C-alpha cells in the first residue's frame, strides 16, 4: 500500500534530517499526524522562522535575529580582542563558559579544497576588514584541531601578523582532532588560558 | 599475547560462531571456499580494522545482513580484555574494553598481529604500492604515532592536490594558502619518513639474522628505502622539511599543470637486496620466497622487541607454498612462543613437523567443528 501523498511528503522531509532513516521518519510522520493542530502550526512556524527571521550578523558572521548581533552591539565587551571560530555553535560553547569577554568572528566554514572551500568562500575578507576599521590588538584563532582547522589558523596568521596584530591559537587542552563543540567547559577554559602565539 | 576466544556475527559466510583458543597452535582445516580465510581475516580485522584482501569493507557483512561484528578477548601483559569491531552501512565502530575508540590510532595496536598470506609472496615482486602498504600496516601496529602522522599526511596531500586542481581551473594562485598546505604536508612527511627509516633499520637487523640462517650463511639481506626526495637515513626531520619545501617550490608550476603532488612518502619504494643485488629483478623465486619469509619472521621478533610480547601469527595457506627447509624454519621459530592460526586444505605438510599437539577446527561452509586430536 502507498502512503497518502501528504504523509509520504512529510516522511520524505523528515528523512532529510541527519541520522533519520525511513523507519524513524515514518514513525515521526504518524506522530505528527496525532499531534494537536496548534502544536503542529507552532512547529511549522518555527521551521520557517529559523530560515526567514535569522540572519548572519554583517559584522561578525554569527547567526542573529537582529543585525548587528547582541555581542557586536554590546559596548561593555572588550573590543580589542576577536576570537575566531568555525561555526555559530562554537560561539555558544564559548559564551556558556562566561570567561571570555571580547568579540567574535564566525568564519562559517573551514578551508577545505576537497569540499570546494577556499579562502574566498568563508568569512575571511570581512575579518580583515574589521581589523582595518577597529582597534583590535589580539586575534585568538579557535578553529578546531583538525588538519583543516590548523590550515585555516596558519593561513589567517599569515594574513594578520604583518599588520602587527598579535595572533594566538587556542589549542592547549583540546585534544588533537577534536571539535570545540564537544569540549567541556573546564577544557575550554584551560584552552583559552593556554593559547599560544602563532 | 594471546587471543583467548572469538565471537563472529554476520561475518562473511558465518552467521554466528564462538570459538575458544586455549591452545598455542590452531589449525583451520577444510576444503576450498568453506570459510578458512574468512575466519583468519576476521582475526586480522579485529586487530587492524581493515583487511589484507580488500579495500571494500562492506564485503565483511554477510550477504543480506545489516552489520558484521567481531569480538575477541585478548590476553596481553597479564591483562585480559575484550576488543570489538563492528561494521554497518553507517561505518565502523571499535571498542577496547567496551569503550569506544574514535581514532584508528587509539585502537590499532591493542592486538598485535603478523599475517603471512599468499599475497605476501608478491611483496618483493609486486608494486611499490604494495610495499608501502606493508610498511604502513606493520609500522602502524607498533607505533600509533606513525598512524596518526600518516593519516595527517594523507589528508593534507588530498587537500593540496584538490587545491592544485582548483588553481589550474581558476588560473588564480593564493600563494599564502598553497604555502600553508605545503608547510602542513612537509611537517607530517618529516615524521613519516623519519619513522620509516628508524623502523627499517630495526627490521633489517632481525631479517638479516633470519635470512642468513635460512640461506645457510650464503646470503646477506639488506633493506634499502628508496625515497622520492633527495634524503637518506641520516637526514634529520628539520632537514627533511627544508628539502621537501625546496622541492615543492621548484616543482610548483609543473605540479599545478599536472594537478598533483609529485614527490613525498606516497611515492617512495623499498628494495630488498641479497648480496647487494635487487631481489626483485635478479633474485630467483627461491630467493624471493626466502626474503619474504625472513622479513615476516623478523616482524615477529621486532614486535616482541617493541611491545615486550610476541604478536599473534596468522598463516593463510602458506606452508604449502614453502619447501620443507623453509617450513622447518618457520615452525621452529614460532613453536612454543607464538600463538599461531593457520589454514590449510590438508594436514599433509604439517604432519611430523610439529612437536606440540594442535587444536584442529574443521571448517565446512560457515560451520565449525572442533577436534583436539594428535596429528
Ligand atoms: N559477505 C559474504 N557473505 C556470505 N558469504 C561470503 C561473503 N564473502 C565471502 N563469502 C563466501 O566465502 C567463501 C570464501 O571463503 P574463504 O575465502 O574463507 O575460503 P577458504 O576456505 O579460505 O578457501 P580456499 O581454500 O580456497 O582459500 C566464498 O565461497 C564466498 O561465497
Ligand atoms: Mg583461503
Ligand atoms: Zn555580530
In a domain, A197, yes or no: no
* Burial environment of residue B153 by CB neighbours within 10 A (0 to 12, 13 to 18, 19 or more): buried
Q: How far is A60 from chain B (nearest CA, A)?
A: 22
CATH code, domain with A34:
1.10.8.420
Q: How far is B153 from chain A (nearest CA, A)?
A: 9
DSSP character for A180? G
DSSP character for B97? T
Interface mutation vs chain A, best among B148, B176, B260, most A CBs within 10 Å: B176
Shared-domain flag, residues A74 and A22: no
Shared-domain flag, residues A38 and A84: no
Tell me the pairing of strands A196-197 and A166-169. Answer: antiparallel
CB contact under 8 A, A155 and B158: no
- Number of helical (H) and strand (E) elements in chain B, helices listed first: 9, 15
Shared-domain flag, residues A74 and A49: no
Shared-domain flag, residues A39 and A95: no
Q: Which residues of B touch A177 (CB under 8 A)?
A: 103
- Beta bridge partners, B79, equal B76
Our CA dihedral for A135, A140, A144, A149, rounded to 10 degrees, sits at 70
Mutate to test the pocket of ligand 1, among B8, B12, B60 (most ligand atoms within 8 A of CB): B12
Shared-domain flag, residues A104 and A144: yes
DSSP characters for B46-93? HHHSS-SS-S-GGGGBPTT-SEEEEEEEEEETTEEEEEEEEEETTEEE
In a domain, A59, yes or no: no
Shared-domain flag, residues A83 and A169: yes
Q: Is B227 in the pocket of ligand 1 (CB under 6 A)?
A: no
Shared-domain flag, residues A46 and A133: no
Using CA atoms, how far apart are residues B39 and B184, in angstroms rounded to an integer?
40
What lies within 8 Å, CB to CB, of B7 at 6+ separation is B16, B17, B18, B69, B70, B71, B72
Q: Which domains does chain B have, with CATH numbers?
A: 1-112+309-375 (3.40.50.300), 124-307 (1.20.1050.90)
A24-79 residue pLDDT tens: 999 999 999 999 999 999 999 999 988 888 889 999 999 998 999 999 999 999 99
Shared-domain flag, residues A49 and A135: no
Q: How many domains does chain A have?
A: 2
How many residues are listed for chain B in this entry? Answer: 375
Shared-domain flag, residues A39 and A125: no
Shared-domain flag, residues A75 and A165: yes
Pull the grid cell for residue B144: 600509533
CATH code, domain with A116:
3.40.1360.10
**Residue A93, domain extent:** 70-179+185-191
In a domain, A61, yes or no: no
In a domain, A60, yes or no: no
- Beta bridge partners, A102, equal A78
A150-192 residue pLDDT tens: 999 999 999 999 989 999 988 644 554 555 555 566 566 656 6
Shared-domain flag, residues A74 and A132: yes
In a domain, A198, yes or no: no
Q: List residues, by chain if needed, whose CB lies under 5 Å from ion ligand 2.
A: B 37
Only one residue has cell 572551500, namely A117
In a domain, A27, yes or no: yes
In a domain, A196, yes or no: no
In a domain, A12, yes or no: yes
pLDDT tens-digit profile, chain B (375 residues)? 999 999 999 999 999 999 999 999 999 999 999 999 999 999 999 999 999 888 899 999 999 999 999 999 999 988 999 999 999 988 899 999 999 998 888 899 999 999 999 888 889 999 999 999 999 999 998 898 899 999 999 999 999 999 999 999 999 999 999 999 999 999 999 999 999 999 999 999 999 999 999 888 999 999 999 999 999 999 999 999 999 999 999 999 999 999 999 999 999 999 999 999 999 998 888 899 899 999 999 999 999 999 999 999 999 988 888 888 888 888 888 888 899 999 999 888 777 777 778 899 999 999 999 876 544
Only one residue has cell 627533511, namely B240
Shared-domain flag, residues A81 and A172: yes
Residue B68: C-alpha distances to residues A69, A74, B35, B57, B102 (Å): 49, 54, 15, 10, 18
Amino acid at each position: 500500500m502507498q502512503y497518502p501523498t501528504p504523509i509520504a511528503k512529510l516522511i520524505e522531509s523528515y528523512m532529510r534530517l541527519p541520522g533519520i532513516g525511513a523507519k524513524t521518519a515514518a514513525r515521526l510522520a504518524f506522530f505528527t499526524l496525532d499531534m494537536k493542530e496548534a502544536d503542529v502550526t507552532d512547529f511549522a512556524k518555527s521551521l520557517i522562522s529559523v530560515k526567514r527571521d535569522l540572519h548572519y550578523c554583517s559584522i561578525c558572521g554569527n547567526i542573529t535575529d537582529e543585525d548587528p548581533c547582541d555581542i557586536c552591539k554590546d559596548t561593555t565587551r572588550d573590543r580589542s580582542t576577536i576570537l575566531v571560530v568555525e561555526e555559530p555553535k562554537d560561539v555558544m560553547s564559548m559564551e556558556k563558559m562566561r570567561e571570555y569577554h571580547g568579540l567574535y568572528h564566525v568564519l562559517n566554514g573551514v578551508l577545505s579544497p576537497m569540499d570546494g572551500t577556499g579562502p574566498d568562500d568563508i568569512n575571511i575578507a570581512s575579518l580583515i576588514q574589521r581589523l582595518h576599521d577597529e582597534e583590535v590588538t589580539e586575534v585568538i584563532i579557535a578553529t578546531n584541531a583538525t588538519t583543516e582547522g590548523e590550515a585555516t589558523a596558519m593561513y589567517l596568521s599569515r594574513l594578520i601578523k604583518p599588520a602587527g596584530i598579535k595572533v594566538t591559537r587556542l589549542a592547549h587542552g583540546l585534544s588533537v582532532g577534536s571539535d570545540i563543540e564537544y569540549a567541556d567547559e573546564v577544557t575550554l577554559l584551560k584552552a583559552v588560558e593556554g593559547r599560544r602565539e602563532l | 599475547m594471546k587471543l583467548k576466544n572469538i565471537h563472529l556475527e554476520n561475518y562473511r559466510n558465518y552467521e554466528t560462531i564462538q570459538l575458544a583458543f586455549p591452545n598455542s597452535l590452531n589449525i583451520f582445516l577444510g576444503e576450498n571456499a568453506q570459510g578458512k580465510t574468512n575466519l583468519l581475516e576476521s582475526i586480522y580485522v579485529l586487530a587492524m580494522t581493515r583487511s589484507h584482501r580488500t579495500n571494500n569493507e562492506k564485503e565483511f557483512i554477510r550477504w543480506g545482513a545489516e552489520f558484521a561484528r567481531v569480538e575477541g578477548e585478548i590476553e596481553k601483559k597479564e591483562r585480559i580484555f575484550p576488543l570489538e569491531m563492528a561494521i554497518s552501512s553507517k561505518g565502523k565502530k571499535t571498542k577496547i574494553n567496551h569503550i569506544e575508540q574514535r581514532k584508528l590510532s587509539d585502537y590499532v595496536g591493542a592486538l598485535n598481529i603478523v599475517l603471512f598470506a599468499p599475497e605476501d609472496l608478491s611483496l618483493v615482486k609486486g608494486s611499490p604500492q604494495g610495499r608501502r602498504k606493508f610498511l604502513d600496516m606493520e609500522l602502524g601496529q607498533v607505533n600509533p604515532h606513525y598512524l596518526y602522522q600518516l593519516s595527517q599526511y594523507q589528508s593534507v596531500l588530498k587537500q593540496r592536490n584538490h587545491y592544485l586542481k582548483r588553481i589550474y581551473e581558476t588560473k588564480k594562485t593564493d600563494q599564502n594558502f598553497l604555502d600553508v598546505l605545503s608547510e602542513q604536508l612537509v611537517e607530517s612527511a618529516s615524521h613519516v619518513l623519519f619513522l620509516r627509516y628508524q623502523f627499517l633499520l630495526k627490521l633489517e637487523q632481525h631479517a638479516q639474522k633470519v635470512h642468513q640462517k635460512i640461506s645457510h650463511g650464503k646470503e646477506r639481506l639488506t633493506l634499502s628505502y628508496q625515497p622520492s626526495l633527495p634524503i637518506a637515513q641520516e637526514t634529520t626531520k628539520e632537514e627533511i622539511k627544508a628539502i621537501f619545501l625546496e622541492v615543492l617550490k621548484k616543482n610548483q608550476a609543473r605540479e599545478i599543470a599536472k594537478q598533483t603532488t609529485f614527490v613525498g612518502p606516497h611515492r617512495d619504494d623499498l628494495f630488498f637486496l641479497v648480496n647487494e643485488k635487487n631481489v626483485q629483478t635478479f633474485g630467483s623465486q627461491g630467493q624471493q620466497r626466502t626474503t619474504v619469509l625472513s622479513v615476516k619472521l623478523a616482524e615477529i621478533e621486532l614486535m616482541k622487541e617493541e611491545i615486550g610480547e610476541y604478536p599473534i601469527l596468522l598463516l593463510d595457506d602458506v606452508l604449502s607454498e614453502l619447501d620443507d627447509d623453509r617450513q622447518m624454519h618457520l615452525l621452529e621459530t614460532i613453536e612454543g612462543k607464538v600463538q599461531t592460526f593457520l589454514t590449510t586444505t590438508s594436514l599433509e605438510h604439517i604432519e611430523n613437523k610439529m612437536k606440540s599437539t594442535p587444536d584442529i577446527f574443521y571448517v565446512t561452509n560457515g560451520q565449525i567443528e572442533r577436534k583436539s586430536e594428535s596429528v
